[in-house]
């Protein structure tokens, strides 16, 4: 079986991490395939939302520790070749990405989820910054993103202690957008992905970029970003359609253009 499954349904590119017996730990093959599928989603006009989930009981247990070689001088290669390009792609791809966390998410697996635009977890899922337990530091964007979600103190505690944080607590802390009961998780999460796929894709992409900039820019610079992006949005088909549909009291038909 391939370590990544991929299909397109209802405008959603569904990417499933597929090494369930290893809790979907990421080996090199999986990382490269994931990158390939994200590129396929970016290139396919039919795909207007990306949905990343895991097969079996886990979302992802992070780096496959059977593939690391602590004696290798250039161990950073894994970060440079695998995780950094992956999370950069997820943060910059011009389509919304749903992280559908169907079970535990550990190490780089947790931070991969946090890089998604909308992170939804099943009630029984948990998250752990497992890195410190094996003498590493959190990577895959975690030290940037997590303190912005939950505040410095919570992030610092989670990163140093490596505790397991359940999905319900995670939602309260601001780590997640929503949590659904296990029985309806897939159905409800996919509903949100389909909703995103039918929305004005261009404006969603610019919301994403504007949020990316907001972490580094001053308020004044951010006003300029909003001004620039709004100019583009104002000229889109979907804006015209959105206003027209509102005035005609009907549902809009967005094309993502
Ligand atoms: O060089 C670099 O740049 C390194 C980059 C690192 C990025 C990272 O992600 S570092 C963090 C790596 N991940 C971890 O440290 C988590 C390791 N896993 C665990 O601590 C536990 O598995 C969990 C707490 C996540 C779950 O525990 P449990 O009891 O539910 O499951 P288990 O029995 O430990 O695991 C089930 C199987 O999955 C087992 O295989 P087996 O014995 O049945 O054949 C286990 O070895 C395997 N597995 C789980 N995680 C990994 C893994 N195999 C390889 N790599 C893993 N990360």
Report the separation in Å between the CA atom of 64 and the middle of ligand 1, taken as the mean of its atom positions.
7
For domain 4-197, give the fold: 2-enoyl-CoA Hydratase; Chain A, domain 1 (3.90.226)
With a threshold of 0.95, does the pTM exceed it?
yes
pLDDT tens-digit readout, 53-83: 999 999 999 999 999 988 877 767 899 999 9
Task: Residue 83: name the closest of 136, 116, 134, 34 by CA.
Answer: 34
Residue 2: how many other CB atoms lie within 10 Å: 11
- In short, whether 139's Cβ falls inside 6 Å of ligand 1 is yes
Contact 90, 41 (CB under 8 A): no
pLDDT tens-digit readout, 174-212: 999 999 999 999 999 999 999 999 999 999 999 999 999
Where in the chain are all domains bearing CATH 1.10.12? Answer: 201-247
With a cut of 70, list the residues of the chain below it in pLDDT.
75
* Gap between the Cα atoms of 251 and 254, Å rounded: 9
- Pocket-testing residue among 17, 20, 23, ligand 1, by greatest number of atoms within 8 A of Cβ: 23
- In short, whether 101's Cβ falls inside 6 Å of ligand 1 is no
Where in the chain are all domains bearing CATH 3.90.226.10? Answer: 4-197
* pLDDT at residue 82 in the model: 94
Could you give the ipTM of this predicted complex? 0.98
* CATH code of domain 201-247: 1.10.12
Report the separation in Å between the CA atom of 6 and the middle of ligand 1, taken as the mean of its atom positions.
23
Beta strands in the chain (DSSP E): 4-9, 12-17, 49-54, 58-60, 97-101, 104-106, 118-122, 126-128, 164-166, 178-180
Report the separation in Å between the CA atom of 41 and the middle of ligand 1, taken as the mean of its atom positions.
28
φ and ψ at residue 220, rounded to 5 degrees: -60, -45
- In short, whether 107's Cβ falls inside 6 Å of ligand 1 is yes
How are beta strands 49-54 and 97-101 bridged, if at all? parallel
Report the separation in Å between the CA atom of 23 and the middle of ligand 1, taken as the mean of its atom positions.
7
- Pocket-testing residue among 61, 110, 131, 141, ligand 1, by greatest number of atoms within 8 A of Cβ: 61
């Amino acid at each position: 079986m391939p370590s990544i499954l991929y299909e397109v349904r209802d405008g959603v590119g569904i990417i499933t991490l597929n090494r369930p017996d290893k809790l979907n730990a990421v080996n090199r093959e999986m990382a490269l395939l994931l990158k390939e599928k994200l590129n396929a989603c970016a290139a396919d006009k039919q795909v207007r939302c990306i949905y990343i989930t895991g097969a079996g009981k886990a979302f992802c247990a992070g780096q496959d520790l059977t593939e690391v070689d602590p004696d290798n001088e250039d161990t950073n290669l894994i970060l440079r070749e695998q995780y950094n390009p992956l999370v950069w792609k997820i943060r910059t791809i011009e389509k919304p990405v749903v992280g559908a966390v169907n079970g535990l998410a550990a190490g780089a697996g947790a931070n991969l989820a946090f890089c998604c635009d909308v992170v939804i977890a099943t009630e029984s899922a948990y998250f752990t910054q497992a890195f410190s337990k094996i003498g590493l530091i959190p990577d895959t964007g975690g030290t940037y993103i997590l303190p912005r979600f939950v505040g410095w103190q919570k992030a610092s505690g989670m990163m140093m202690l490596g505790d397991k944080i359940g999905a319900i607590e995670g939602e309260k802390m601001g780590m997640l957008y929503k949590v659904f009961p296990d029985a309806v998780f897939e159905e409800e999460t996919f509903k949100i992905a389909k909703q995103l796929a039918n929305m004005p894709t261009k404006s969603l992409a610019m919301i994403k970029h504007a949020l990316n900039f907001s972490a580094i820019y001053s308020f004044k610079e951010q006003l300029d970003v909003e001004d620039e992006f709004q100019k583009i949005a104002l000229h889109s088909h979907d804006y015209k359609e959105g206003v027209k549909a509102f005035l005609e009291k009907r549902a809009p038909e967005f094309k993502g253009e």
